[in-house]
Structure 1
Amino acid sequence: MTSSVEHVNSLRLVQSSDLEEFVQQILVANGTSTEHAGIVANCLVQADLRGVDTHGSNRIPSYMERIRRKALDATAAPELRQVTPAVAQVDGRNGFGFVAAHAGMARAIEMAQQFGIGMVSIKHSNHFGMSAWLVKQALDADMMSLVFTNSSPALPVWGGKEKLMGVSPIACGAPSENPRRPFILDMAPSVAARGKVYKALRRGEKIPTDWALDGEGNQTDDPAKALEGVMLPMGGPKGSALAIMMDVFSGVFSGAAFAGHVTNPYDPSKPADVGHFLVAVKPDLFMTMDEFKSRMQYLYQRVVDSEKAAGVEQIYFPGEIEMITEERRLSEGIPLAEAEIEALNKEADRVNVARLKVQSRVDS
């Protein structure tokens, strides 16, 4: 007989195209337009493909609960206001963060194509998943980018003990000669993203003891206790300062919530009011595009070919491991835990959408 823990940990493969179509249908059935549902579904599945499972399709149940509880407006369309020729602001109107941010980056790219740089501030938004999809949106237009967001309280400021700052990612990117190996940095200012704790909880797994403290301030390997306590900033005061920086540029600057007032995406009681900050930069401002990409390729080779430390088999460029994972999962499929599939199918059953097509079971 299979134990409940083994059942939770059991993984099944799902084709990315099937998963994206499935997620889009659930979104449409919950009031999202076909266009906006396509954006959200694509962004979530991009995260699944890159191995950022914490920010992928498993977020659908929490998003749908926010819609049902009127904490997120599935029908909202973002409003764009031009501030200067190279600066714009988007009001997300409490709709999907993916939709507001997609519109914001599209406008930032347009401005950068004309003026060399485009900056967009976004307010009244929601969680937008993995930041790297926005970097990739810029890369598809041959643009460099900066992507900031703030988020709900999860870690203390350095020297404090209460949840105040969010585990707010900083992301950036630049194109290269090899389009399969661009520069993509997407990192949280904490030792680990809080989504990894939620993932461990769903799958019945333990977490490393240096990720978080429980409600009593003690180290813990129990994800449930970790969620009662605080995440730990990476590098001590450095991680704390980066989290504050995200709040300055994304929250204070935009007019969105800040200083610990962003609502947790798993809390369906009220709007989140997340803020984002996006910049697109034209890489050929000071040289030709070919020269820029050639220099990026040289940097890549210098990094990955550098002398390895003892015990290291391979050196990777930022974002390269995720690109390799994406290539593999496009071919083999995306692994989802049985518990995650059940949660997704429960959402499908609620709105009479066909259940998710799954393939063979794989070892966890």
Structure 2
Amino acid sequence: MSEPADQPQQMHHIQPAQLKSFVQQILIANGTSPSDAEIVAKCLVAADLRGVDTHGSNRIPSYMERIRQKALDPAATPTVLQVTPAVAQVDAHNGFGFVAAHEGMKRAIEMAQIFGIGMVSVKHSNHFGMSAWLVQQALESDMMSLVFTNSSPALPVWGGKEKLMGVSPIACGAPSGNERRPFILDMAPSIAARGKIYKALRRGEKIPTDWALDGEGRQTDDPASALEGVMLPMGGPKGSALSIMMDVFSGVLSGSAFAGGVTNPYDPSKPADVGHFLVAIKPDLFMTIEEFKGRMDYLYQRVVESDKMAGVDQIYFPGEIEMITEERRLVDGIPFAEAEIASLNKEADLANIEHLKIRSPIL
């Protein structure tokens, strides 16, 4: 049971290397191969480092419960069907979304290196955490990318009142030169990601009243009430349309669940059947890579040095705040609430591994 929303919990730091090892051990103890556990743990800790705590290691208890209830197969190996020279499909076979998406982006990059573009559809998958890690995977090969996924119902369509569309993130990226940060966009079509509601619930915090409606259709600052209602789309009909777009490209096209059929990752009763859509693009198709990166550097400079509105001290490039957070957390550690550490250590007890060691509280 969560603490009352007016009693925020004390926070502690966890070192990234320790956290990654801890997560890997839990995964392996629950039937995941060492190589797949490395992928999943790396992606979860990457989210923690970037400040996307909603999609990081705190997801482990829900993932492990899905494994225990046979709703997720930790030992599944994704298979790849080559559809055309530049198009492939990955069947996740109800395994970890991280593993299937990693394989999908790897194949997309390989095709893009030969044909300039590679497109991969992933079916019968599961939640793959923060989308930005797939963008980063492409960036490491100097590739532009598009990353789509669908998700379980959380949003009403514009004008409706029932949960139908997912809070499905849209992500994309492009490399830059050595002097600038890359472009990384990773956003949900809702005002806030639903994971932030779960995070507030875990930490005994309230939420802004414009994030969600309760079960009676009223604005609420209580995360428990918000989870009984619906999330609100950003920009009204625009956010609603983006969530439908994610379902078209990730669900309809892939052959996975769609139109409200994806299972909530916190519901261990049945497979999620999530779909993903991944594209890698070679950025030197129309100019040299040096010229492309130079143009990206110029874009970065123009964005961050543009005239500021009143009250703004600094303008950031998309993804830059998360990269700054990562740099800080690599040194200071990753913050966790006491209830979150207790939940992870409960999994440690079930896996018969050592508990997480915490540093001094965050003041």
User: What TM-score do the two structures reach when normalised by structure 2?
Assistant: 0.98
Corresponding residue number in structure 1 for 2:73: 73
Tell me, in whole angstroms, the C-alpha distance in 2 between the residues paired with 1:69 and 1:253: 29
1:270-349 maps to which residues of 2 (within 5 A)?
A: 270-349=270-349
The answer to whether the aligner puts 1:168 opposite 2:192 as a matched pair is: no
Corresponding residue number in structure 2 for 1:31: 31
Corresponding residue number in structure 1 for 2:62: 62
State the AA in 2 paired with 1:253.
L
Check whether the contact 1:8–1:202 (CA below 8 A) recurs between aligned residues.
no
Check whether the contact 1:49–1:325 (CA below 8 A) recurs between aligned residues.
yes
Q: CA deviation at 1:108?
A: 0.2
Q: After superposition, what is the alpha-carbon deviation per residue over 1:41-92, rounded to whole angstroms, capped at 9, x for unaligned?
A: 0000000000000000000000000000000001101011100000000000
Tell me, in whole angstroms, the C-alpha distance in 2 between the residues paired with 1:54 and 1:113: 33
Q: CA deviation at 1:178?
A: 3.0
Aligned-partner SS, 2:114: helix
Q: CA, structure 1 residues 188+179, in 2 after alignment: closer, same or farther (shift >3 Å)?
A: farther
Q: CA deviation at 1:357?
A: 1.9
Check whether the contact 1:203–1:337 (CA below 8 A) recurs between aligned residues.
yes
Corresponding residue number in structure 2 for 1:51: 51
Q: After superposition, what is the alpha-carbon deviation per residue over 1:134-182, rounded to whole angstroms, capped at 9, x for unaligned?
A: 0000000000000000000001000000000000000000000037610
Tell me, in whole angstroms, the C-alpha distance in 1 between the residues paired with 2:35 and 2:8: 34
Tell me, in whole angstroms, the C-alpha distance in 1 between the residues paired with 2:75 and 2:110: 25
State the AA in 1 paired with 2:217.
G
Q: CA deviation at 1:329?
A: 0.3
Q: CA deviation at 1:360?
A: 1.1
Corresponding residue number in structure 2 for 1:177: 177
Check whether the contact 1:14–1:358 (CA below 8 A) recurs between aligned residues.
yes
Tell me, in whole angstroms, the C-alpha distance in 1 between the residues paired with 2:138 and 2:5: 41
Corresponding residue number in structure 2 for 1:356: 356
Q: After superposition, what is the alpha-carbon deviation per residue over 1:247-306, rounded to whole angstroms, capped at 9, x for unaligned?
A: 000000000000000000000000000000000000000000011001000000000000
Check whether the contact 1:7–1:339 (CA below 8 A) recurs between aligned residues.
no
Aligned-partner SS, 1:9: coil
State the AA in 1 paired with 2:170.
I
Tell me, in whole angstroms, the C-alpha distance in 1 between the residues paired with 2:253 and 2:351: 39
State the AA in 2 paired with 1:69.
Q
Structure 1 segments of 4+ aligned residues over 3 angstroms from their partners: 3-8
Tell me, in whole angstroms, the C-alpha distance in 2 between the residues paired with 1:58 and 1:4: 19
Corresponding residue number in structure 1 for 2:96: 96
State the AA in 2 paired with 1:167.
V
State the AA in 1 paired with 2:29.
A
Corresponding residue number in structure 2 for 1:235: 235
Q: CA deviation at 1:351?
A: 1.3
Q: CA deviation at 1:118?
A: 0.1
Check whether the contact 1:90–1:104 (CA below 8 A) recurs between aligned residues.
yes
Q: CA, structure 1 residues 151+4, in 2 after alignment: closer, same or farther (shift >3 Å)?
A: closer
State the AA in 2 paired with 1:28.
I
Corresponding residue number in structure 1 for 2:224: 224
Check whether the contact 1:7–1:338 (CA below 8 A) recurs between aligned residues.
no
State the AA in 2 paired with 1:121.
S
Check whether the contact 2:6–2:206 (CA below 8 A) recurs between aligned residues.
no
Corresponding residue number in structure 2 for 1:110: 110
User: What TM-score do the two structures reach when normalised by structure 1?
Assistant: 0.98
Tell me, in whole angstroms, the C-alpha distance in 2 between the residues paired with 1:180 and 1:137: 18
Count of matched residue pairs: 361
Check whether the contact 2:80–2:90 (CA below 8 A) recurs between aligned residues.
yes
State the AA in 1 paired with 2:51.
G
Tell me, in whole angstroms, the C-alpha distance in 2 between the residues paired with 1:85 and 1:278: 15
Check whether the contact 2:78–2:95 (CA below 8 A) recurs between aligned residues.
yes
Percent identical pairs in the alignment equals 80
Corresponding residue number in structure 2 for 1:209: 209
Q: CA deviation at 1:9?
A: 1.6
* 280-289 or 351-360: bigger deviation: 351-360
Tell me, in whole angstroms, the C-alpha distance in 2 between the residues paired with 1:179 and 1:224: 44
Aligned-partner SS, 1:285: coil
Q: After superposition, what is the alpha-carbon deviation per residue over 1:232-257, rounded to whole angstroms, capped at 9, x for unaligned?
A: 00000000000000000000000000
Q: After superposition, what is the alpha-carbon deviation per residue over 1:94-140, rounded to whole angstroms, capped at 9, x for unaligned?
A: 00000000000000000000000000000000000000000000000
Tell me, in whole angstroms, the C-alpha distance in 1 between the residues paired with 2:261 and 2:6: 38
